[in-house]
Structure 1
Amino acid sequence: MIKFIFKTGLVIVFICCATATKAQLIDNSSTFRTINHNSYFRFHYDNDFFTKSDEYYSQGITLDFVHPGIKKFPLSKLLWKPYSTTPQYGITFNLFGYTPTSIASDSILYGDRPFNANISVKTFLIQVDPVKQQQISTAFSIGIMGPNALGYQIQDNIHRWLKNPLPHGWQYQTKNDIILNYQLNYEKQLWSAGNHFLLNGTAEARAGTLNDKLSGGFNFMAGSFNKRFTPVTYKKRKAEYYFYGQSRMNLIGYDASMHGGIFNRKNPYIIPGSDITRVTFEADAGIIVNFKKLYLSYTQSFLTKEFRTGHYHRWGGISVGFAL
């Protein structure tokens, strides 16, 4: 039975990769990323260095802190909680950086992705409905994009540390603008085989100054894991080790990392709306180990082209978490 489940999981991973696409840019609310404690810290780092490239979504850093006391944080009052169960409350620091296909030019690369960095703080909650085997997560982000997000300084220092060629062209990045974004994610169990295989349907909506989009798709877990869609408990739980994958279709309305911010329109270069790919496909797959209070994961992610003259992109990511 276990061999069958793992073979099934590998087949789904292949399908997800073949349909191809973009991950959630380190969205840690999915059930396959669950840490069943009401207090934990998690660090995640994305970089296309893992796939031997340096373009488009170049890197991302996320720091999650989950604790019941975050319920009292003012922005937490904006989060929707539809069920009667106790939610997990958290706060996240996000830093994302984007570059064109070359960072060696001191000229604008027209028809390519613009340089962009954005930095934000996100408050979120995750709430489950154990009766109907479903989960809602809501989040509100506030931050800034542009030179004040320090994208150039961070990439320059990383390249110096790795002794890689230094980046050029950041002087043409999108200008400073404000980030205000609201996000709603929904997951519903479709089928399970004990604690060895789980298939969920997913939906997402984002609206605000950073991005506007609707998404729908599926995710799965295959391996050995604890039951999902259960409220946080303090009971001793067995170690987890499993594959996961997800595949989605996105309907894109606005993406400030390509369009520029909505308030400051004095950008040296952006991709016009007529060149944006309005429907994209995304997928990612990885391995997670959750042992006692330690959480580890490795992810490979894929993205179809986001604009007319673009192409597919992929990157890797690692996570380390600790229950408190």
Structure 2
Amino acid sequence: MMRYLKIFILASFFIPKPGSAQRIDQTASFRNMAGDKYVRLHYDNDFFAKSDYYYTQGYSFEVVTPGLSKNPLNKLLLQKGRSTHYGLAFEHYGFTPTSISSDAILYNDRPFAGAIMLKSFRISVDTASKTRLVAILSTGMIGPAAFAGKMQQKIHSWTGDRDPKGWQYQIKNDLVLNYEIQFQKQVFNFKNAVALNTETQVQIGTLNNKAQAGFTLRLGKFDSPFKDAPVQLARNFQFYIYNQPLIGFNAYDATLQGGLFSTHNPYTLTGSQMNRVTFQDNFGLVIQCWRIYLEYYQSFLTKEFQTGMNHCWGGIKVGFLL
């Protein structure tokens, strides 16, 4: 067992990390906070990876509290285990092609697209089997209603950058209704200093249909996300790095191919242009001290369509236990 763990450690940490088909992931096991009541802000930007194309920006604000157990949508969320956290997350992000300087459609490039949604989620932990089941229901809109273009234009005006062109060709308004299941299982944990667990994710709906599978490795000082222990804030200090390589299988992506219900989009990619298999890697640093949660990470994603390119971006998270 230790021999295979050493091989995996060496392999995972020497994978190039210039980082995800999963853009914003609040519920990964390595992002577990030491309590059942907290708020957390997440911000992504490809500026952190010195690029300026494809997934250009995203942010979310999440709230987890026992009071959200009364959310009627929870009846649609699967559960496994007795320890349960309930949450809501507001999420917004945008995509651009490789250039925002042209007023013409850039064929064989990524379409302009924006998405805005509200996520209801439940995290349930089975402490006996060391597993976590996460169920997420996302509702919202893709298209101009998500105001991603207007936001990018406003940010560029604040920063003095060139005015982005081409948003008139973005994917048209359509409904976002997606269901996601994540299953995480602990494989190995040595004194909360080295831990390995498997990751499986499946997403079905109008935004995307895809699956991902891989591993998460953590090194440092941390609490296990697979146990249900009382929170001791005075002793809550965690410091660790993580690496998460994932293989993705993509059947459909509305930000590339257009929504299921809208027609006559100015420009989209066809199914034959899609890469059905992708590789992503997330690598980051987390610090938790008393009530504060801080995280910085980098993400890498291989090209999602045949004429595309690999892409990188970075992100930060700031959370606070209530």
Question: How high is the TM-score relative to the length of structure 2?
Answer: 0.95
Q: Structure 2 regions of 5+ residues with no counterpart?
A: none
| Alignment-derived partner of residue 74 in structure 2 | 76
| Alignment-derived partner of residue 227 in structure 1 | 224
Q: Assess if the C-alpha contact under 8 Å between 1:37 and 1:232 holds in 2.
A: no
| Alignment-derived partner of residue 164 in structure 1 | 161
Q: Assess if the C-alpha contact under 8 Å between 1:21 and 1:281 holds in 2.
A: no
The residue identity in structure 2 corresponding to 1:49 is: F
| Alignment-derived partner of residue 309 in structure 1 | 307
Deviations 1:189-215 (A, max 9, x none): 111211101111110110000000111
1:176 and 2:181 matched: no
What are the within-5 Å matches in structure 2 for residues 1-324 of structure 1?
Answer: 12-15=12-15, 17=16, 21-22=19-20, 24-83=22-81, 85-231=82-228, 233-236=230-233, 237-324=235-322
Comparing 68-77 with 101-110, greater Cα deviation is found at 68-77
The residue identity in structure 2 corresponding to 1:286 is: G
Q: Assess if the C-alpha contact under 8 Å between 1:295 and 1:319 holds in 2.
A: yes
Identify if the C-alpha distance between structure 1 residues 240 and 323 changes in structure 2 by more than 3 Å, giving closer, same or farther. same
Aligned equivalents of 2:193, 2:228: Cα separation in 1: 19
Q: Assess if the C-alpha contact under 8 Å between 1:212 and 1:252 holds in 2.
A: yes
Give the secondary structure class of the aligned counterpart of 1:152. Answer: helix
Give the secondary structure class of the aligned counterpart of 1:274. Answer: helix
Q: Assess if the C-alpha contact under 8 Å between 1:185 and 1:203 holds in 2.
A: yes
Deviations 1:49-70 (A, max 9, x none): 1112111011111111001111
Count, aligned residues: 317
Q: Assess if the C-alpha contact under 8 Å between 2:19 and 2:283 holds in 1.
A: no
Alignment RMSD, CA only? 1.8
Give the secondary structure class of the aligned counterpart of 2:83. Answer: coil
The residue identity in structure 1 corresponding to 2:126 is: D
The residue identity in structure 2 corresponding to 1:306 is: E
The residue identity in structure 2 corresponding to 1:126 is: I
Aligned equivalents of 1:294, 1:216: Cα separation in 2: 30
Shift of 1:23: 5.6
Q: Assess if the C-alpha contact under 8 Å between 1:23 and 1:284 holds in 2.
A: no
Identify if the C-alpha distance between structure 1 residues 320 and 23 changes in structure 2 by more than 3 Å, giving closer, same or farther. farther
Aligned equivalents of 1:309, 1:218: Cα separation in 2: 28
The residue identity in structure 1 corresponding to 2:321 is: A
Shift of 1:14: 2.3
Deviations 1:264-288 (A, max 9, x none): 0220000011000000011110100
Q: Assess if the C-alpha contact under 8 Å between 1:99 and 1:116 holds in 2.
A: yes
Aligned equivalents of 1:124, 1:310: Cα separation in 2: 32
Aligned equivalents of 1:231, 1:142: Cα separation in 2: 30
Q: Assess if the C-alpha contact under 8 Å between 1:123 and 1:141 holds in 2.
A: yes
Q: Assess if the C-alpha contact under 8 Å between 1:9 and 1:243 holds in 2.
A: no
Q: Assess if the C-alpha contact under 8 Å between 2:130 and 2:185 holds in 1.
A: yes
Aligned equivalents of 1:267, 1:72: Cα separation in 2: 39
Deviations 1:72-96 (A, max 9, x none): 112122111122x131000000101
Identify if the C-alpha distance between structure 1 residues 99 and 273 changes in structure 2 by more than 3 Å, giving closer, same or farther. same
Aligned equivalents of 1:233, 1:144: Cα separation in 2: 39
The residue identity in structure 2 corresponding to 1:300 is: Q
Aligned equivalents of 2:238, 2:10: Cα separation in 1: 18
The residue identity in structure 1 corresponding to 2:309 is: H
